[in-house]
Chains A and B, each alone.
Chain A
Amino acid sequence: MKTAEDIVIAALALATMSAVPFVSSSYIVFLLNGIMVLALCSLSFNLVYADTGYMNLGNSVPFGVGAYAFAFALSHNWSATLAVVVSILAILFFSALSGIFIVRLKGAYYAIGTLALVLFAQALAYNLGWLTGGYQGIIVNVAGGSAYSAYYILAFLNAVLLLLTAAIRKSSFGYRMRSIKGNEIVASTLGINAAVNKVIVLIIGSLFAGIAGILSTSYNGFVTSESSFGISITFLPVIMAILLGSFSIVAPLIGVTIVALASEIFVTTIPQLTDFMLGILLILAALYPKNLIVLKNSRFLKNKSGVRSASS
């Protein structure tokens, strides 16, 4: 058993993570926040994709709903607690609503349908000015040090989602979802309600993406259509999950850091080329999934549950 070793490594990681804000500048904390937001979205995409095989390209919809709802509540001088509760309710409502429709789509149509939802949300954000502030978005007064609290919450949530993914993978829920991935019709004849399972996993994933949205508003202090439904937040998490091998649990985290750092450098130095770079990354993800960074011997990248993925 390597449990003791795992605990030591986890404790070391935890200690390093919690020490960072004390020894580094606030810019680094900001940067790490951005990375962890993307990581959370990536894990949330992965939760749905790795087990059910459905590509949810619309993860930025719950992200944006969370970001906008939180900003709207704060700009109307609601208390922070109430704002969080309202935002989470909004996320759950919208992800359940879209889930009920989206669940009927199969294969490529699922991906395209969810992507169409992003464009629709974008149009709504531009057009419903009274709610979203239109093109300018909403600016929120954030308390000093909110970047630091967001940092710890994000780190915590990433850890929770990692553990949850592992737990689900071993649970009967995980087996049900993988049976859907294997063959939806056969799964249905075995008494598995594919639709319900798909909606549930979508809502769990959306909840985490949505909370990432709330937190991004809380430390950025603003929300715009671009920041919540833009190309980066829509595609970067997908690219990260797929390029780095979505069937292992820890791999996306390592990849997230590399890809997010690279994109941060791009955005700050040559912003015009951001879309270009994202497009190239998407093509690479299509041609060489989970091959870009080869760390095959690392035991962190192995699928610990021992479940063989269908594509390998």
Chain B
Amino acid sequence: MTLAPLLELLIFGILLGGIYGLSAIGLSLIFGIARVLNLAHGAFAVLAAAVSFVVIQATGLNLLFVAMLVVPLFFVAGYVYEILLIHRMLSFNRERRIEALILGTLGFGLVTESIVSIIIPRNFGVNYQFLPISFGEITVSTLRLLLLAVVAITTVILHFIVYKTWYGKALRATIDDAETAQLMGINFDRITSITFGLGTALSALGGILLLLVFNISPNMGFPITLKVLAIIILGGLGSILGSLAASIALGISETFAGFFLDTAWSNSISLVVLLVVVLIKSEGLLRR
């Protein structure tokens, strides 16, 4: 075998990892601020992909343009999701809170996925070839390079938001010490809602980009959540670079497993990674 297909796989793996990485940063921020393992995270990605798919089918607009409309919409969705559902459960006492958050976010994810599967039958995403972006027939398709660029730009913007804005400062302060941050005049509820919005928007962007990479099935949401979970446990909480590195490692291993074994196994790779990672770092995210 020549080296070219392996390189191609490597680039695809990096791209896939980059997309997971965006979603992972979103979940990591949410977990960091509210200690909530949002198990509906991946369902938002699937919903965003489905919404974009329907809009493109109906209007024939360019996907990147649609993404610019849908991603802010999911910021609002995440914001409202926090206020209506998560906020209530955060007010429970500690013991009840953990189980309530697991069941509640899981249930919300299930509801979201079932709505998607009612709207769109089985798998979707095949019709992206009509997009003007997908030109070029070199070893690496231009579309994938473009997606990589989107991932890179988003990461830079995110880095700017987290480290250079007032919101970012408040976010990091709350992640470090929520009580002291509140004493300094930071509105915890508001920051939490905004972070849920931001995290959900990132998950949505990940879902839309995935739409260009492979077919999405409505019940992919929870597996995506587990992958992202493995990534943030591996990469370390709150670390944007750590999450990206871990996600690229996962993306590459998943791609190679899909190529050398069988595509049916590639999802199991991330599950094995999750189980192993959780076992090794059984204190998980809480040890910082």
A interface, CB within 8 angstroms of B: 53, 55, 57, 101, 104-109, 111-113, 115-117, 119-120, 123-124, 126-127, 231, 235, 238, 242, 272-276, 278-287, 289, 310-311
Contacts and interface: CB of A to CB of B under 8 A. Distances in A.
B282 A106 contact: yes
Interface residues of B, number: 45
A283 B37 contact: no
B111 to A, nearest CB: 3
Contacts of A289: 96, 99-100
A41 to B, nearest CB: 16
Contacts of A101: 275, 279
Contact of B267 (A106, A123, A276): A123
B102 A111 contact: yes
Contact of B113 (A115, A126, A275): A275
Contact of A283 (B85, B113, B268): B85
Interface in B74-103: 85, 88-89, 93, 95-96, 98-103
A113 B230 CA distance: 11
B115 to A, nearest CB: 7
Interface of B: 37, 39, 85, 88-89, 93, 95-96, 98-104, 106-115, 117-118, 222-223, 226, 229, 262, 264-265, 267-268, 271-272, 274-275, 278-279, 282-284
B274 to A, nearest CB: 5
Contacts of A109: 278, 282, 284
Contacts of A112: 37, 39, 102, 226, 229, 278
A235 B88 CA distance: 22
Contacts of A242: 99, 103
19 contacts: A106-B282, A107-B98, A111-B99, A112-B37, A112-B226, A112-B278, A116-B226, A120-B275, A123-B264, A123-B271, A127-B262, A272-B118, A275-B117, A276-B111, A276-B118, A278-B107, A282-B106, A283-B108, A287-B88
A126 B107 CA distance: 25
Contact of A286 (B100, B271, B274): B100
A279 B114 contact: yes
Nearest to A288: B100
B98 A108 contact: yes
B80 to A, nearest CB: 15
B219 to A, nearest CB: 8
B282 A104 contact: yes
B37 A310 contact: no
Sort A-B residue pairs by CB-CB distance and give the 8 closest, nearest first: A282-B107, A279-B110, A286-B104, A279-B111, A275-B114, A286-B103, A283-B107, A276-B114
B278 A283 contact: no
Contact of A123 (B111, B222, B265, B279): B265
A21 B282 CA distance: 49
A185 to B, nearest CB: 13
Contact of B110 (A111, A117, A231, A287): A231
A55 to B, nearest CB: 6
A43 to B, nearest CB: 18
Interface centre among A53, A57, A310, A311 (most CB of B within 10 A): A311
Contacts of A120: 268, 271-272, 275
B276 to A, nearest CB: 10
Contact of B103 (A127, A231, A283): A283
Given A104-B279, A279-B111, A127 B265 contact: yes
Contacts of B100: 286-287, 289
Contacts of A116: 226, 271, 274-275, 278
Contact of A311 (B89, B96, B101, B282): B96
Contacts of B272: 120
Nearest to A101: B279
B107 A119 contact: no
Nearest to A53: B95
Contacts of A106: 282-283
B31 to A, nearest CB: 10
Contacts of A105: 278-279, 282
Given A108-B102, A116-B226, A120-B275, A287 B114 contact: no
A283 B43 CA distance: 15
A287 B108 CA distance: 12
A311 B95 contact: yes
Contacts of B104: 282-283, 286-287
A231 B111 CA distance: 12
